[in-house]
Amino acid sequence: MTREEISANKEAFLRLCRENIHREGLEELLSYLETTDFYTAPSSTAFHLNQEGGLCKHSMNVFYTAKAIYEGIAVPAEQSGEANYNEKISFESLAISTLFHDLCKTKLYKPTEKWKKNSEGRWDSYMGYEVQDEFPLGHGEKSCVIIGWFMRLRRDELLAIRWHMGMFDIGEQGSAQRFALRAALEKSPLVSVVHAADLLASNLLEKTIKH
């Protein structure tokens, strides 16, 4: 992304936060983000939006995808009485859980020189990213902790952020985690919406740069 695109995405992200979130601690959390690489970091090292500025863009993509699911599926189901849950989804909770779900990726990806063979079998260098985790506390769990330094999260928001990766965040010895994920999905519809939005945004909206 260009510097102009990164700057425009930052402004758009801040606007979304302030328009949709009215909870104590928001401004303190946004001030903290200024001390991190949130607006310039990639969303991954080798997959969706693995480029400068990808993390902020991905966060907004997940918000807009979740908003579409909320307006197109959840709200009609609630209004018709067909919803398989009782408590309505709070749009503020949806905004918090999507816009901040990947704060665990701040201060995580470091630019580094990498190498690949070209069509002639020679090694060419290119700039990529590697993981250097300063605070290795997991994925969704880490995002919950960082947000919690500044803003009090509701239980459904904690569950949605913690489990936004769904089964992709469960290891080989993960039987207890599978039960926990299933229980989280049953306790709050927000968990399903945020996970689905993250999956769809990552795989349908966000290109991977091939080196």
Which residue is associated with the tokens 């983000």? 33
CA dist list (Å): 28 to 84, 92, 121, 177: 36, 17, 51, 32
- How confident is the model over 21-45, as pLDDT tens digits? 999 999 999 999 999 999 999 999 9
The one-letter code for the residue type at 165 is: M
Q: What is the dihedral of CA 120, 210, 37, 114, to 10 degrees?
A: -20
- How confident is the model over 90-119, as pLDDT tens digits? 999 999 999 999 999 999 999 988 777 777
Q: Band the pLDDT of 63: cuts 50, 70, 90.
A: very high
pLDDT of 149 reads 98
d(CA 72, CA 76): 7
Q: What is the dihedral of CA 56, 60, 61, 66, to 10 degrees?
A: 140
Distance, CA of 17 to chain centre: 14
pLDDT of 168 reads 85
| Residues in a beta bridge with 125 | 115
pLDDT of 12 reads 98
| Residues in a beta bridge with 130 | 110
- How confident is the model over 123-168, as pLDDT tens digits? 777 778 999 999 999 999 999 999 999 999 999 999 999 999 998 8
Three-state secondary structure string covering 57-125: HHHHHHHHHHHHHHHHHHHHHHHHCCCCCCCCCCHHHHHHHHHCCCHHHCCCEEEEEEEEECCCCCEEE
